[in-house]
Amino acid sequence: MSFLKKTWVLWTVWGLGSLLAGGALAGILFVGGPRSMMLIGETTSAHKQFELACESCHTTGIVENLTKSPKKLQKAMTKACLTCHKDEKKVSNDSHPTKKFRGAKGAKLRAALNAQQCGTCHMEHTPEITRANAVTLPRDLCSACHQEIGEERATHKGLGFETCASSGCHNFHDNTALYESLLVKNSGGDWLKASPVHAHIAHGRAVPLLFASLSDQDPIKALEDFVADLPESSKEQGAIDKLAKLVDEDKILKAGDAIAPAAYVTADAVGKWSSSAHALNGVNCGACHAPDVAQSTDLSELEQNWIEEPGLTVCADCHREQAKTFTYGKHGMSLHPKISKPRKPPTDNPLLAAVFLFEDQPVPPFKVGDSYLAPKMHKEAHGRELGSCGTCHKPHDVDLKDAAVESCVGCHDDTHTRNYFKSPHYEAWQAELAGNAEPGSGVTCADCHMPKIEGRGGDVFTTHNQNAYFRPNEKMIRPVCMSCHSLDFSIDALADPNLVENNFNGRPAVHIESIDWALSRER
């Protein structure tokens, strides 16, 4: 009897403990609290910054998960993916848009590969089968729909389906630098152009020099002198008109116009600010450091509202495109507007008072050392927080050369980065800095990974989404490589892993036949 009684007590304790543990886990899952224990597997590197903000991707609740069909749940997940990736798909001119798989015509394709759902090819929390570009299907995925390609095209006869996505051949979504008519049109030509200058970058590099010259007593005269000294190639690119629009004599502020609490009016800060784009456009200290009282000249009021290091939201007031693209890239992804905010438990209900135990805390700032790439970063940089403009930029500096190179190598310590300083690109950059080459002829880290592009309104800006031109690396060809190199050379160079590793110090040792095949079909 005593044994049975003891067993009954143990079962009761076990049952109550299980209920409490299950209730606690359910509370953490659906109400609030730390979710790190809930991760069923590593997320992809791009998603690690917000992997505990589960609602960002899992938009369906417990009732929907129990009542909706798997097909509808997949649709909901795809919709969640597109909240962040929709613009990127538009820019890439998607080679396999969902409309290709719709209706009765696409039924056969859907049966082979349902590419209407992101999860078909990109399954999260499965690091053991995840390859580059977060693809979780086998390399021969193209065989599902293109089984007859070897018979249709003689150039493809005998090729394995695992080679389709080889660098320089095909990408599932983005073929903007690899489609046939482009290959034919741009075949041939010298590997290095006679005037290797990136037009947008040339203009961007000329502007800081202009700003520096405008610290003179007569800024309009300085502008005229500056334009007169521009190289002919810059004049042909319409630089004169663009630069002239930057100057409004009524807006220009000088060093003596700085309005800030005495503690912050240092010779270094004011000196750099007075020759910057901010001073040129009439932006005084308070606009960034005390935006709530930006127009005030009361120093005590400014001091009371002073922000020592303004965050992204302040910078975004003027630098909208830069800030927007920053939240799409790995440096600022945790700040993307579609990332779910901390959950608020219903503590106003006395019956649910215990849920305060599950109150969510904001996702902590993501640090360099938290990244999967931490082993390829300088150890002293592991404590740096991502998500702030000031991490890379010195806001009072007129010259962006530190942000273009020094900020990058301050964190990154991989072979490709270290070899930059032995590369022809670095030599060209040094020649430009020394004044021995025209603006836009040097190549920095930012020029390749965060190039200057045209926005929707036609304005040129530096994209801060380095992901957009990183994987697959052929995305760099049109906005970056072809400004200085031929298409043939660009494809071969990016397809040579050893050349990429040594930062393009040499010539490609591989040859991709895509252009040759396109020309043979043309003939």
Asked whether residue 490 carries a pLDDT value surpassing 90, the answer given is yes
C-beta of residue 331 within 8 angstroms of C-beta of residue 464: yes
Of residues 4 and 518, more confidence is placed in: 518
Summary mean pLDDT of the chain: 85
C-beta of residue 247 within 8 angstroms of C-beta of residue 220: yes
Return the closest-CA partner of residue 481 out of 449, 522, 516, 513.
449
Return the closest-CA partner of residue 290 out of 261, 266, 262, 331.
261
C-beta of residue 454 within 8 angstroms of C-beta of residue 478: no
Tokens of residue 512, six digits: 């991709």
C-beta of residue 35 within 8 angstroms of C-beta of residue 360: no
3-state secondary structure of 335: helix
The residues that bridge with 460 in the sheet, in sequence order, are 454
pLDDT for 186 equals 94
The most confident of the ranges 3-7, 51-55, 226-230, 407-411 is 407-411
Asked whether residue 432 carries a pLDDT value surpassing 80, the answer given is yes
The residues that bridge with 178 in the sheet, in sequence order, are none
Asked whether residue 238 carries a pLDDT value surpassing 70, the answer given is no
Query: What is d(CA 304, CA 290) in angstroms, rounded to the nearest whole number?
Result: 9
* Tens digit of each residue's pLDDT (9 = 90 or more) over 155-174: 999 999 999 988 889 999 98
Question: With bands split at pLDDT 50, 70 and 90, how would you rate the model's confidence at 414?
Answer: very high
The residues that bridge with 462 in the sheet, in sequence order, are 452
pLDDT for 22 equals 82
C-beta of residue 33 within 8 angstroms of C-beta of residue 358: yes
Q: Which of 33-37, 120-124, 502-506 has the lowest mean pLDDT?
A: 33-37
Query: What is d(CA 510, CA 513) in angstroms, rounded to the nearest whole number?
Result: 10
The most confident of the ranges 17-31, 75-89, 406-420 is 406-420
Over residues 304-320, mean pLDDT: 91
